[in-house]
Structure 1
Amino acid sequence: MLERLHEIPGTTLDRPTYHAMRRREREQLSGPIWKLERAQFFREPADDPSWQSFLSGDWEGVLTAFENDRSAARTEIAGYTRQGSELRRLRVVEKPVSPYLQWEMAWFRILAEEGTPIRVLHAERIREHEHLHPLPEVVLDEHALYHVAYDRDGKAIGARRIADPEVMREASNEIARLWSQGEPFLEYFQREIAALPPPTTVP
C-alpha cells in the first residue's frame, strides 16, 4: 500500500492549507498519529534557529536551540496525552548517517526524553517495500492520510490528503508492522549517534 500511495487519488493541498487543516484536525484527535519519515535530507524553514546554526556550522548553537525548545515539546506532548492521543514517529535511516539526520536526531533526543515514542528502522529492512519507489513521507491519523510533498531541494510544499477509510486502514497496519520492527530511539541514539563528532559538512 505505502509503495503505491502516489497512485491513489487525493486532494492536493499547498503548504499553508495543509498546516491549517492539520491544526484543526489535531484539536479533535482521540487516537494515535503515525509519522513515517523516509528521506535522508529535508530543507527546514530558514527562520529556525537550530537550522540557522546547522547551516553555519555552529553545532553548539544547534544543541542550545533545541534545548531551548524542550519546554514547548513537553507542552505539545502533554496536549496529545490529554486528548488520548500520541504522535508515533518511525524514522528510516541509512548508513552512513547523513549530516541532516545527525541534526534531526539531536532534536529527536529531546522529544524522546520528553515522552514522544520514536523508533528507528534501518533502510535495508524495508527493501521489500521499495521495489518501484522509496517509501513516502506520511502523516496518518483518524481523520486522513497525508502524503507529504517536497520539492527537489527537500523543502516542504504541501501534501495530498487521502480520506479513503480502506486506504487509511491498510496504510496504518503497514506502518504499525514496520514500527514493530524498529528500535527504540534512545537505544539507537546512544549506540550510533551520541559519540559522533559534529558534522563537518552541511547542505
Structure 2
Amino acid sequence: MLEQSALELVASQGERLPIEAYRRDFRRYRGDVRGRHSWKLERRQDFEEQDASWEAFRHGRWEEALRLLEDEREDLEKAVQRDRERSTAFHRVRVVEEPLTPYLHWELHALRVQAECGKKIRVVGPAQVAAFEAGGPLPEVVVVGDQVLYQVLYTEAGSLDGAVRFLEPGLVRRWGDFIRTLYETGEDVLPFFARSVAHLRPPQTKAE
C-alpha cells in the first residue's frame, strides 16, 4: 500500500508559478501530450470561479447558470475530439462530501455536462482518501502526461493563486498512479448525479 509520505509535496522542491505563468505552463504541457493521459484530483469543497455560469449562480440566477453550462457543449465536444486525435484523455477525480456545499452542487451540474460531452470524470467519497489525510486534506493536484505535477494553490476564499510545479519523475509517477487508482475505484459522475443531485432543490447562495 502506498504510504502517505510518498505523496508529500515540499514546496521548496518545486517551482512557484504565479497564476498567468501557471496557465501558460499548463497549456504548453497539455498541448504537447501525445499518447499519454493526464489526471486531476479535486479535494476542496468550496472554490471561487471566474466563470459566467458561476457568477450567475452567485447572484441567485440558477436557471441562467444552468443554461450557460449547456452553452459550453460544443466547445467541450471539440476539446474531447482533439484529445482523441492525440490519443490522450484528461481524467478527473472529484472528492464529494455530503451534504453538498452550494459550490459543489453547482459544480456537479457542470461536471454532468462535461461528462455527457465525453470528459472522463468520477466521484469518490471522503472515506476513499481518509487513509492519506492524517495530516490534513489532500492538496489539489494535476498530473499532465506523466511529465509534470502541479499542486494548484488557492486563497483561503477559494480563488486560484497559481501553482507549484514539480518535475521529479518518481513523485510525478506516484501521484499519477495514486489518482489513477482513485479513478478506477470511483463512480462515474453521471449515475452519481442522477442518484444524489438531480432531485435536489437549487442551492442557496450568499447573495440570496
Query: Could you say what secondary structure the match of 1:27 adopts?
Result: helix
1:55 aligns with 2:58: yes
- State how far apart, in whole Å, the 1-side matches of 2:139 and 2:6 are: 7
- State how far apart, in whole Å, the 1-side matches of 2:7 and 2:104 are: 22
Question: Contact conserved, 2:59 with 2:205, CA < 8 A, in 1?
Answer: no
Let me know the Cα RMSD of the aligned residues: 1.4
Query: Could you say what secondary structure the match of 2:134 adopts?
Result: coil
Give 1:77 shift.
1.1
- State how far apart, in whole Å, the 2-side matches of 1:191 and 1:6 are: 39
1:159 aligns with 2:152: no
Residues 1:35 and 1:9: Cα distance change in structure 2 (over 3 Å)? same
Match of 2:20 in 1: 16
- State how far apart, in whole Å, the 2-side matches of 1:77 and 1:7 are: 32
Question: Contact conserved, 1:99 with 1:202, CA < 8 A, in 2?
Answer: no
Match for 1:95: what amino acid? E
TM-score normalised by length of structure 1:
0.94
What's the % identity of the aligned pairs?
36
Displaced runs of 4 or more, over 3 A: none
- State how far apart, in whole Å, the 1-side matches of 2:7 and 2:170 are: 15
Give 1:2 shift.
6.7
Q: Which runs of 5+ in 1 are unaligned?
A: none
Give 1:186 shift.
0.4
Match of 1:180 in 2: 184
Question: Contact conserved, 1:3 with 1:132, CA < 8 A, in 2?
Answer: no
Q: Which runs of 5+ in 2 are unaligned?
A: none
Question: Contact conserved, 2:121 with 2:189, CA < 8 A, in 1?
Answer: yes
Give 1:6 shift.
4.0
Query: Could you say what secondary structure the match of 2:81 adopts?
Result: helix
TM-score normalised by length of structure 2:
0.92
How many residue pairs are counted as aligned between the two chains?
201
Residues 1:165 and 1:3: Cα distance change in structure 2 (over 3 Å)? closer
